[in-house]
Amino acid sequence: MVKNVILFASGNGSNVAAILSHCKNISDIHFPVIVTNNPKAGVIQLAKENGIDVLLINKAIFDSAVFLDTLERYQPSLLVLAGFLWRVPAYLIEAFPKQIINIHPALLPKYGGKGMYGHHVHEAVIANAEKQSGITIHMVNKEYDEGTILLQKKVDITPTDTAQTLASKVLALEHEWYVQVIRNLLQV
Ligand code: GAR
C-alpha cells in the first residue's frame, strides 16, 4: 500500500532533496505536498522539479486547526520535518500521534531547544570545544527537541573544524540516515 509522506521545510532543503532523490524509485512512498513557511525556501524549486504541490503557510494558518483539514486530505502516514523551524502546535501532535518526526543537527539533549537551529547549533558546539557532534532523529512532541529519540549518529570534531565544516559533516550524516528512519517507520 502506498504511504503518503508530507515534508515540512523552511530553508535550503538539502534534506528534502536527499529524501526525494533516494525515494524516486520506491513506488510505495508518495510525497503529495511540501509545506513551507518561507517563500524563499529551496524546497519550492525542488517541489516544482519533482511535480509536488507546495503549501506556503503563515503562522496563523499553522496555528489554526483548519490546517488539520488540509493535511488530512492527503491521508499522511508520516509528517517529516526537515529543517522546519516552527514549534508544532498541540492539535497537530494530537491528530498525528507518533507520526511526526524531526531531525536535529546535534546530539540531543545537548544543543536543543528554542533558538537552537542550523548554524547556531554548530557555532555553540565549536565554541564549547566539543570532541563530537552528530545528528538526532526524534519523534516530535509539544516541546522543542524533546520527543523520543529514534536514532543518533556521531561525528568526530577535529581541532581545525569550524561551524561551517562541522555543518557539512553533519549534513552528510543527515542525508544518509533520515531516509533510513523514514523507511523503517513506514516499513517500505
Ligand atoms: C539541518 O541541518 C537540520 O538538521 C536543521 O536545519 C538544517 C536544514 O538543512 N534543523 C534544525 O536545526 C532544527 N532544529 P536543509 O534545509 O539543507 O535540509
Determine the residue of 87, 103, 150, 166 to mutate for testing ligand 1's pocket, defined as the one with the most ligand atoms within 8 A of the Cβ atom. 103
**Dist CA 103 CA 173 (whole Å):** 11
State in Å: Cα 44 to ligand 1 middle.
16
pLDDT of residue 126: 98
User: Which residue ranges make up each domain of the chain?
Assistant: 3-107+135-154+174-186
DSSP label at residue 119: H
Looking at the CA of residue 170, tell me the nearest atom of ligand 1.
2
Ligand 1 pocket check for 112: Cβ under 6 Å: no
Ligand 1 pocket check for 13: Cβ under 6 Å: yes
For residue 14, which of 39, 38, 45 has the smallest C-alpha distance? 45
Chain segment 95-111, per-residue pLDDT in tens: 999 999 999 999 999 99
Looking at the CA of residue 17, tell me the nearest atom of ligand 1.
18
CB atoms within 10 A of CB 58: 9
Helix (H) or strand (E) holding 64: none
Query: Does residue 4 carry a pLDDT above 90?
Result: yes
Confidence of residue 58 (pLDDT cuts 50, 70, 90): very high
pLDDT of residue 134: 98
Query: Does residue 2 carry a pLDDT above 90?
Result: yes
Chain segment 128-186, per-residue pLDDT in tens: 999 999 999 999 998 888 999 999 999 999 999 999 999 999 999 999 999 999 999 99
Ligand 1 pocket check for 171: Cβ under 6 Å: yes
pLDDT of residue 142: 86
Query: Exposed/middle/buried for 163, CB within 10 Å: 0-12, 13-18, 19+?
Result: middle
**Dist CA 122 CA 105 (whole Å):** 8
State in Å: Cα 27 to ligand 1 middle.
26
Query: Does residue 13 carry a pLDDT above 90?
Result: yes
pLDDT of residue 62: 96
Fold for the domain defined by 3-107+135-154+174-186: Rossmann fold (3.40.50)
Q: What is the mean pLDDT of the chain?
A: 96
Looking at the CA of residue 16, tell me the nearest atom of ligand 1.
18
